[in-house]
Every structure is written in C-alpha cells, then in structure tokens.
Copies of this chain bind each other. A is one copy, B any other.
Amino acid sequence: MLSGDMAKPLLTCQNADGDLSSPASVGTAIGILGSGDFARSLATRLVDSGFKVIVGSRNPKRSMNLFPSSAEVMPQSDAVKKAEVIFVAVFRDHYTTLCELTDLLVGKILVDVSNNTEINHHKESNAEYLASLFPQCTIVKGFNVISAWTLQCGPRDGNKQVLISCDKQEAKAAVGAIARTMGFVPVDMGSLCAAREIENVPLRLLPFWRIPFLLALSLFICFYIYNFIRSVLHPFLMEHKNKFYKIPIELVNVTLPCVAYVMLSLVYLPGVLAAFFQLYYGTKYRRFPDWLDQWLQHRKQIGLVSFFCAAMHAVYSLCLPMRRSSRYLLLNDAFKQITAGKDNAWVDEEVWRMEVYVSFGIIALGLLSLLAVTSLPSIGNALNWREFSFIQSKLGFAALLVSTLHTLTFGWRRAFDGTQYKFYLPPTYTLTLLVPCAIILAKVVLFMPCVSRKLLRIRRGWEKGKCAQFTLSNARNPSYEYSHGEGTSIV
C-alpha cells in the first residue's frame, strides 16, 4: 500500500507537472466526442495509459457497450463539462452538430483528429474549419496520422509520431504531453495553419518517389524503343532476320543499365550544378532555384531507383546463359566451327573485353549495394555526418566512375565502327555516356586547388564582397552540395 505522502508525487511524476488538474496527469479526465472506431480505440488507449476517459455520446445507452468499461459514457453536454481537453472524433460534416455545445466549450482545448478522403479536399483544413465554428476554444490538430489499429495495440515499436499543430504553445504542449504519456512521440509542426499539411500526411502516396519513378519509366520507354529499332527492327527490315525473341529479356537487359547509369549520373548532377551556382554568386546564402532545390531533395530516391535498375540488370544478365536461345546459338556455333574445321574459337580481344567489363560491372554493383544499405533509415541514422558524406559522396562517386569504365569497356571500339550505326543511330551506350562524362569533368574542375579552395571558403560562410565572418559553422553545417536532401540520402 502506498503511504499517503508517497501517493501524490508518484501520481504526477510521469506527467511532468506539479498540478493534478493538468491534462497529462495520470487520472486526469479527457473527453471524447464521437463513438466510431477511432473514438473507441482512442478511449481504450487513454484508459490503458491511466487517464480518466469521459465519452460524450448523443445516445449514451447504445454507445455504452462499445467503449471500455472504465470509460464513462454520458450525454455530450455532461461530458464536455468534465474535461478540459476534448478529442473531437466526429466527421467534418457533423461538426455543426456540436454547435449546441458552444457555450459549454468556451476555453476548452479541442483536439481535431479527423482526416479527409482526398488531398486538399476542402479549401480550409478540418481543424481550421472547427476553429472558425468555435472561436472561443483552442483547437489542436493531432493524432490523425495514427490509425485506430495502432491506438488499440499501443505503439509497441516506439516509433509512431504524432504530428501536432496549434496556435497556442500551452495547448500544444498539453496535447503533446498526453501523446507522450500514451507512448507516442509528439512532433511540433507549428501553428494551426499547418493542419492542412498534417491532414494530407495520411493521404500521401510516396510523394518523394513519384518524380524518380516517372523519370525512370520515361527513360526506360525511350531507351527501349531506341534499342528495339536498332536491335530488332533494323535486322528485320534490312536483313530479314527475325530477332523478335529478344523482346522479353535481351532488350530489357540492354535498356535497364542505360536507365540505371543515367539515373546515377542525375544523382550527382545537381550537386555539381549547386557548386557552380555557389561559385558564380560567391555565397552559400543565396537560395537555389526551385527546380534545383527539388532535385537536390530527390537524390536519395533517384539513387535508389538507379540501384534497383542496376540490380535487375545484373539478374537479367546472369539469366542470359541459361536460356534456350543461348543454348541453340551455341550449338549452331559449334556446328559452324566444326564444319569449318576451325580447332580454336578463341578471340583474345573479345575475351579481354568481356572479362574486363563484367568485372567493372560487378564492382559497380558491389559499391551501389553498399550505398543502398546505408540508405536504410536504421543504418543511416547511426552514422555521423562525416561517415555519411564519405559513403554517399566518395563511394557514390567511385560507383559512378566504375560504371563509366563498365560502359566504356562494354562499348569498346563500337562507337568508331560505322556498321554499328543502324539507321544512323549511334550505339546506345554512347548516348548514356554524355551526362556522366560531363559530371566527371566538372568534378575534376571543382577538385582543382584554386576552385576547391574558393568553394570551401564559400561553404564556410565567406561571401563575395563581404568581410570575413568567423562563424561556428564548419564541420557541422552540411554544405549545400551534399546535405540539402534528407539525412539519409544515397548521394
């Protein structure tokens, strides 16, 4: 049994305040309006976290059985009187039904937990609409990113964030404390106008992946058609050879590395552009143009799509010798060799070319896998800034270099061979080399002492035409070249 003296401080210690009436205290009354799935799961979780839950229902008798037994279910007007913080678990369309409670709600904190069914469905966010209906209440947006399921199970994996926004710091802090007591991690998103963004969060469908995916898809289609014309259509029209069997595997396998290689170069291009931008304007404080900013922020995703294409290219390549077509061609070659009486098929140049380019390909894939693994949140978070930039920038650039060598040795002398220009179209690999070679050249320029020294000065805060400022920024302020994306980037 707890002694009387102990009871009080214990009662409050988890909730970080010295006043029992504060909403975060164990045993504090929390109101809920609504009786849907979310309301029920919320009530369960609040009860489990030690709060006293008061549910306001328009039909208390019917709702009674839906809620945990320790939650008190009563008419809405009674419920709102008993709690200072009230969760509004009602559809936006039914907010107006609460207007009869206006007088009782004065001064209360209303937590809007609602979601929409479409992104930017309404002109104003649900929370702002609620605020306009109840100007004398403090509206807090929050908990909408948590599912009823997570509420019911409890946040066992300890990673669930609750995005909260509110115009009043105190109310925000109060709801944040409730979230923390429930086991969630409150994240302050600023004032109530952020509610729009918060309401869009659960409706987002991989927003950062859209552009990289579409980019990869369009590159794939372009290169595929180009390769189809050169490898299938040209032999069919010119030499009446049926090479259509190449469509499912061989064409895909020459297209994938093009996509992977171009995408990989697009990961490093914006960094180079940003460096030249900074050199040109002589400052790091000038904002990049929006397209460059967007590009810098998508580098991780572009890099991972590039890795996926490279890995698929590896699998396709490894499948080549197991196919029937490869077997039949080999048998036919054996037949030809024997009928020709040639006892040695060996072509030294061909052997060396293939040994070398396959070798570079494997090394590039190995480097890209390391980059991909360090892009995993749980690994990236364990790296400090220096390690992260070493891996993503140094190793990543090494991967680009080795990929370039892979492409060059694969191409060998074909670019200078007139017969390779089917329909006057140059071999595909020559097209893909353009951007990467430009980047490598630019990196060489940026690496020259005179340029690199100036860039370093700019990134340490030096500005053209201003006197030197000694500010504590080096070593910790990620230079814009590498850090503009999220913390865990493939670049």
- A177 CB contacts on chain B under 8 angstroms: 13-14
Contact A170 B10 (CB under 8 A): yes
- Counted per complex, copies of this chain come to 3
A279 adjacent to chain B (CB < 8 Å) = no
Contact A483 B149 (CB under 8 A): yes
Given A174-B13, A328-B351, is A476 in contact with B322 using a C-beta cutoff of 8 Å?
no
Taking the closest CB of chain B, its distance from the CB of A202, in whole angstroms, is 5
Contact B147 A477 (CB under 8 A): yes
Given A177-B13, A338-B334, A476-B202, is A358 in contact with B319 using a C-beta cutoff of 8 Å?
yes
The answer for the CA separation of A156 and B377 in the assembled complex, in Å, is 12
Given A18-B19, A351-B325, is A202 in contact with B149 using a C-beta cutoff of 8 Å?
no
A417 adjacent to chain B (CB < 8 Å) = no
9-residue interface stretch from A86-94, A287-295, A446-454: A86-94
Taking the closest CB of chain B, its distance from the CB of A40, in whole angstroms, is 9
A280 adjacent to chain B (CB < 8 Å) = no
The answer for the CA separation of A185 and B7 in the assembled complex, in Å, is 23
A248 adjacent to chain B (CB < 8 Å) = yes
8 A Cβ contacts from A318-357 to B: 318-325, 327-328, 330-339, 342-348, 350-356
- A84 CB contacts on chain B under 8 angstroms: 3, 6
Given A11-B173, A170-B26, A335-B338, is A348 in contact with B187 using a C-beta cutoff of 8 Å?
no
Given A15-B16, A149-B483, A150-B487, is A322 in contact with B358 using a C-beta cutoff of 8 Å?
yes
8 A Cβ contacts from A175-194 to B: 176-177, 180, 183, 185, 187-188, 190
Instruction: Scan A65-106; emit 1 where CB is below 8 A from any B CB, else 0.
Output: 000000000000000000010000111011000000000001
Contact B386 A325 (CB under 8 A): no
A401 adjacent to chain B (CB < 8 Å) = no
8 A Cβ contacts from A382-431 to B: 382-387, 390
With beta carbons under 8 angstroms apart, the residue of B113, B146, B311, B345 that contacts A328 is B345
Contact B475 A115 (CB under 8 A): yes
Q: Which residue of B lies closest to A366 (CB)?
A: B312
With beta carbons under 8 angstroms apart, the residue of B22, B107, B354, B356 that contacts A13 is B22
With beta carbons under 8 angstroms apart, the residue of B187, B318, B369, B387 that contacts A318 is B318
Contact B328 A347 (CB under 8 A): yes
The answer for the CA separation of A385 and B23 in the assembled complex, in Å, is 29
9-residue interface stretch from A157-165, A224-232, A270-278: A157-165
Q: Can you list 30 A-B contacts with CB-CB less than 8 angstroms, sorted by A residue number?
A: A1-B107, A2-B107, A2-B138, A2-B168, A2-B170, A2-B171, A7-B170, A9-B17, A9-B18, A9-B22, A11-B173, A13-B19, A13-B173, A13-B177, A17-B17, A26-B170, A38-B472, A156-B161, A157-B377, A157-B487, A160-B381, A203-B384, A206-B390, A318-B318, A325-B354, A327-B333, A328-B345, A330-B331, A335-B337, A377-B379
Supply 16 further A-B pairs (C-beta < 8 A) apart from A248-B359, A327-B330, A335-B343. A9-B18, A10-B22, A12-B16, A13-B16, A48-B188, A50-B188, A148-B478, A157-B381, A157-B382, A158-B159, A308-B370, A323-B351, A324-B351, A324-B354, A324-B355, A332-B346
- List the 9 closest pairs (A to B, CB-CB), nearest first: A36-B471, A16-B16, A18-B18, A9-B22, A37-B473, A378-B378, A9-B19, A14-B173, A248-B359
